[in-house]
Amino acid sequence: MIDPIMSFAADWQAAQAQKLANARYCSLATVGLDGRPVTRTLVLRAVTDNALVLFVSASSPKWQQLKNNGNFEILVFWPELLRQYRLGGNQLRELSAVEMHDHWQRKPYDAKILDLYYVNHQAQSAVIESREAFLADIAKLKADYPRDEDIPPAENALGLQLAVNFVERWQVGEGGDMHQRTLWTQREGGWQRQFLVP
Ligand SMILES: Cc1cc2nc3c(=O)[nH]c(=O)nc-3n(C[C@H](O)[C@H](O)[C@H](O)COP(=O)(O)O)c2cc1C
Does residue 123 belong to any structural domain of this protein? no
pLDDT tens readout for residues 112-122:
999 999 999 99
The upper half-sphere exposure of residue 155, i.e. CA atoms within 13 Å in the direction of its Cβ, equals 2
pLDDT class of 80 with cuts at 50, 70, 90:
very high
CATH number of the CATH domain containing 73 = 2.30.110.10
Residues 119 and 155: beta-carbon distance below 8 Å: yes
For the purposes of burial, counting CB atoms within 10 Å of the CB of 162, is it exposed (0-12), middle (13-18) or buried (19 or more)?
buried
Does residue 84 belong to any structural domain of this protein? yes
What is the count of structural domains for the chain? 1
Cα(167) to centroid of ligand 1, in Å?
Answer: 23
Contacts 24+ apart (CB under 8 A), 178-185: 184/4
At 86 the pLDDT is: 98
- Ligand 1 atom 30 nearest Cα: 41
Mean pLDDT of 170-181: 92
Total Cβ atoms within 10 A of residue 19:
9
Mean pLDDT of 27-35: 98
Does residue 136 belong to any structural domain of this protein? no
Which amino acid type is present at position 8?
Answer: F
At 176 the pLDDT is: 81
pLDDT class of 1 with cuts at 50, 70, 90:
low
Does residue 125 belong to any structural domain of this protein? no
- Ligand 1 atom 11 nearest Cα: 56
Tell me the H-state helices in 107-170: 109-120, 131-144
Q: Which domain holds residue 179?
A: 4-107+155-196
pLDDT tens readout for residues 32-56:
999 999 999 999 999 997 999 999 9
What residues flank ligand 1, with Cβ below 6 Å? 25, 38, 40-43, 55-57, 60-62, 124-125
Most confident of 68-77, 99-108, 175-184: 68-77
Does residue 8 belong to any structural domain of this protein? yes
Does residue 177 belong to any structural domain of this protein? yes
Does residue 72 belong to any structural domain of this protein? yes
Mean pLDDT of 61-87: 98
* For the CA of 64, the nearest atom of ligand 1: 27
Mutate to test the pocket of ligand 1, among 25, 38, 40 (most ligand atoms within 8 A of CB): 40
Mutate to test the pocket of ligand 1, among 28, 36, 39, 43 (most ligand atoms within 8 A of CB): 43
Does residue 118 belong to any structural domain of this protein? no
Mean pLDDT for all residues in the chain: 95
**Strand pairing report for 91-94 and 46-47:** unpaired
Residues 151 and 138: beta-carbon distance below 8 Å: no
Cα(25) to centroid of ligand 1, in Å?
Answer: 10
